[in-house]
Each structure stands twice: as C-alpha cells, then as structure tokens.
Structure 1
Amino acid sequence: MQNIEIEQSIENSIKEALKQNNATLVAHYYVSSDLQALAEESGGIVSDSLEMARFGQNSDADTIIVAGVKFMGETAKILSPEKRVLVLDTEANCSLDLSCPIDEFSKFCDQKPDHVVVVYANTSAEVKARADWVVTSGSALKVVQKLHDEGKKVLWAPDKHLGHYVQSMTGVEMLMWDGACIVHEEFKAEGLKRLMEIHPEAGVLVHPESPKEVIALADIVGSTTQLINAAASRPENTFIVATDNGIFHKMKEVAPHKKFIEAPTMGEGADCESCAHCGWMAMNNLEKCLDTLNTGNNEILINNQIIDKAKNSIQRLLDFTK
C-alpha cells in the first residue's frame, strides 16, 4: 500500500510540474505502463517515435518530455527546434542507432552516390541529416516501392531484418547496412513454432525488426501501431506477440478481454523463456521524469544545420503519408 501511495504522490507531482512548465509528456509503447498511463492522463500521448515527435510539434507546450530513448528525443527536437526537449535519461540508447555511427555511414553512402539514402527512424540526428528519406516500419514498404517505381536505387540503413522484409515484399534490390535491434533479433522461430503448437488458436503478431524465420510464421507483420490495431480488430482471443513486451500495456487497454503471450527469445543457456524488453527503455521511470522536470536536465541540443537537413528527410515522409 505504501509503494502505491508513493507512486501516486510522484505522479501527482509530475502532473503539477508539467502544468507549471507548460510541458507535455510523450511516451513510447515500450516504456513502463505507469509512464504510458501518466502520459495519457496528463494530456500527452503514447505512440511510436515519429508520432510522439509530431504530437509535440503540434502541441502548445513549450517543453516536450520524451519517455523513450535518445533518438526519440532528437526526432522531437528536429520537428520542434524552438521548443525545449528533455529526455529522462541521456544514456538510454538504441542498438540500431549505435550500430550506425555517422562517420562510417557517410563513407558507406559516399561510395554509392547514385543511390537514394533511406534510413529508419531509429537513427541519430546526424544520420537522418545524411539521408534523403526517413521512414518508419509502417511506411517503409510504400516509400521503397515508390522509389523503385521511379527507377531509383536504394541504400537502406540500419536494420537489416526490416530491410530484408521490405526487400522480400517489394522485390526491390537494396544496398543494406548491417544493423539489428537487440530485442527483436533474439526471437526464435523454433521456440515460436512450439508455442504455436501449444496455442493453435492464437494469432501471431510480429514486428518486422524480427528475423525472417520469425516473420515467416506471422499472421500479421507490422509496426507497433499496426500490431496494436490488429490486437483490437482481429477475431482471435489469444495472441502471441513478437515485439518488446512494453506494448502489452496498450494491447490490454484496447482489447481487455484478450490474452497476450510473449513470443520466445529462449535459446541455449537462456534463463528466461522470453526476455523481450529493451534495457534502455527500462531506464525510464517516474522518479527520473520528475527529476528531469524539476531540474531541466537531459536537454537535447542539436546543431541547427543538422536540424535543417534532418527535417527535410523527415518532412518527405510526412508529406508522402498525409
């Protein structure tokens, strides 16, 4: 009971601090359920990284508090350069972002000047600035198909699994960067098959950052938002879900009477059947949210030239998906 009272006190303090700072809290689907609930209760949003940034851009808030990882704060700053953007922990990173350092990526791009550079949203501001297009997992197929129809050659980064999925669905040859998400890459096809045998009635929902063998077993392959929509709209009452387990909060919210099972990440020597949660996302918590609001720490600052270039590559996507 005492812990609940302490948590409630912190939440109330955050809500008050948000008002005092004219701030809005935007949270990703993969952070803890208490942060997701607080974001919505306080007039913010729970969504994917690009929609989080767009919500902040369209809000009247002077300050955007980002519960997620560092590149999400950077995306918010790119779309709202005049606003103060704070993250809860500057050490909360992303394996896809870290796997694609700007110096190496620029050299990679320079070797293929005839290719259109398409990067996934899970990248640094500098990489977005080097790109021609920024895409999300929900928009990648359509953008790559459009470029192919225009006769363009595509250079893709950083997620190789999402890239191979796009390639398999479109038939478009892409020059591929070798990056992967440490959470999604661990899903195991053999373990998933065994779980499907135990639950033959279950629908299988898979994020395209997963290995191709896992994707091949899916009923629905899609972005976080698309998987949540599928959980609500599909007729199955049980789902096996291959993405970060933080998404279960929203899935249970939109489909409270349905059952959700984590897809297995177990392998030789594994000490849990499914460990599908990003350690960097787990660095976000209520205490850090309140501290960030009170101190103004963890501000995202980006060079104006980088912002201008990165905004162009994001704006292409926003215009295309209107």
Structure 2
Amino acid sequence: MSVTVYALLLTLCTVSGDPTGCTYYPSDLKYECSARSWALPLTLSDFDHVPQSLSLIDVNGNLPSSTPTATFSGFAAINTSSFDANFVPTFTIRCYRGGMLIYYAGSFTGLGYFKNVHIQNCEVLAMPDDGLHDFGDVNYFGVEGGIIGDIGYDAFRGLNVCLMNIPRPLGTFLLTSKLDSRVLPNGVLYALTNVTNIVIDNANLDTLQVDMFQASTKLKSLSLRYNMFTTIPNNTLSSLPGLQTLDIEGIELECTCDNVWFLDYCKANNISIRGSVICSTPSSYRSKYTESSSCFVIKEQDFQ
C-alpha cells in the first residue's frame, strides 16, 4: 500500500475527539470537563455531541471571561432543536475539595440555554455584579455548600428564576453556602421577581431586612432553616400575597410578643409554618411555643 493511500485511509478512519479533559456520558446526555486537564476556552465546535448538560469538575481558580483566554467560545450559536425534551439542560460547577471559584461578568457567555444551574462546594471569593447575567431565564439556581465571600449588590441582576414549562418545574433559588459576612446586601434579591421558592438554609445569615423579599411577589415557599438571626422584622412577609409555607426550623428567636408577630400573621393568611419555633431568650422562655390567639403559649419542656 502506498504512503498516499495509507494516509488517506488513516484520515477517513480518524474520529474527531472531544475537548481535552472532557468526557461524554450518553445515558445522561452530559459532559464532564475536569479543570485539572482542560485547555481553555471550551469551544462548542470541538464537542462531538451537543452538550445538553455540562459539568465543570475539580474547579479551583479562575473562570476567565475575555481574551487572551475565555472559558467558553461559540456557545451562543448552539442549536437546541435536537435536545431530548426529557432532560433539563443543566450546568454544574463543582469545586475540588472546597477549592476556590472566581468568575466575572462575561464568564458564562453563551450559556443561556441551561435551565438548571448548580455551583457546588466552592469557596466563591466574590459574586460580582452582572456575573450571572448570561444565564437569563432559569428553572433552578443554587449555590450549594461551600463559602461565599463578597456579594455585589447586583450579583443576581439579569438572572430570572422562574417556574418553567419543563420536566420538574421548580422556580427555585437556593443558597446553602456559608456567608462570610453573615448578611446579604440590602436589595440583592430584588432581581428575583418571578421566583416561586427561596431557600436560604444554614447560611450563617444573622440579619433579615424588612424589605429583603419585597420584589418576589410570586413567592410560594420561603425556607430560612438553621440560620443565626433572632428576629423577623414586622412586615417582612407583607409583600408576599401568594406565600404558602414558611420554614424556620432551627431558628432560635428572641421571644417577645412583638417579635413573634408572624404567628398571628401566618394564621390569618393561611401560611403554614414548618419547623419548631424555639425561644432563645428570655431565659425563662427557653422552650418551644405554639401559636394562640394571644401571642403564644409556652410549653413546659426546657432546652439545655
């Protein structure tokens, strides 16, 4: 066989490969790309299959947004018409053993077709203004585990968490990372005008602002479990006409009649309270209590 013929056959038999560090799992229509071995940018045309779901794993460092190297290239031109309607397009960032995550406005250019977005087990050094803008409409957005440093006042601007007509519609915003500052900037949640469920659990949150959720007028469920705040400001729930459940499991409240106003409010507005309501102060009231027509009734069980 001549060298020319051999070279031609070799060319015809060669199968193009996926980007370095990326592995395809056909049963889940998902790619996993490891930050340990990838070469940025991840370019759409280099993928053998259209990445309906994409996980960035072993992340510990920057996801750059611009030249000389961006994180993603060409994704704005993706054709979603061939997607399997039974699989929700999902994007996940999973850090390596609590590794750092640094992203910028523009880091996620072209990724607006993903409808579920997860950031898992990362030390997020900062959530910059407009950093999540490119995701646009999402069914679910979650920062799950890990730690969050600085949060910009417009960190969620352009992110529209809403109930979507897809398999398992959620409309959920979830934050279960520890907040270094123990607060959320006033107004940072105002972007979430269409969200159905907000979960801010076990986040070291020690302060609620009275207008914290005022823009989320479609909210049906609010979970604030195992945080550090001891009071819920009066009228915190007044802008939420559709609220159905409030979960405050693990919250130790300052128990005065003024501070437990929400018991009568929830009863009057048919809002279910989930979780045991616990008094941390005064010491004589360090017990569970239940709602009644006149403030609350202290049970005899004491907590040590």
TM (norm. structure 2) is: 0.24
TM (norm. structure 1) is: 0.23
Q: Which has the higher helix share?
A: 1
Larger RCO: 1 or 2 (CA < 8 Å, sep 6+): 1
Higher alpha-carbon Rg: 2
